[in-house]
Amino acid sequence: MTLIITAIAAIIATAIRFGKPELGDRHSIGFLSLVYWGASLMWCVDGFSELAGGAPFIELSEQEAVADDALLGACVVVLGLAAWFVFRIIKKRLLTKAT
């Protein structure tokens, strides 16, 4: 479930980045997109290691595990937004110092 939530966030950020290039450039949406694609790649590697151990790639049988994974996915999306926000603040301050 974490992979699904993070991949959806990555697809949305990428669609915004390339669908509205002026908005994407102004707000560094490309950075946000890379954060989410990196997290999605991390969850894919985790899924493949689960497969190698004999477990399913995505656990959907236990309701409690699905709820925990959904909460973790939501936390990853929120932390990605926080990292993006900090990146934008730092970038803005560096650009104002340069001028």
pLDDT of 34-77, one tens digit each? Answer: 999 999 999 999 999 999 999 888 888 889 989 999 999 999 99
Q: Give me the residue label for tokens 């560094």.
A: 28
Q: What's residue 99's pLDDT?
A: 65
What integer is the mean pLDDT of 83-90? 96
Would you say the C-alpha torsion 59, 51, 13, 35 has a positive or negative sign? positive
Task: List the end-to-end C-alpha distance of the chain, in Å, as a whole number.
Answer: 45
Q: What's residue 46's pLDDT?
A: 93
Contact 16, 31 (CB under 8 A): no
Distance CA 1, CA 15 (A): 21
Q: What's residue 95's pLDDT?
A: 84
Tokens found for residue 64: 């409690």
Q: What's residue 61's pLDDT?
A: 85
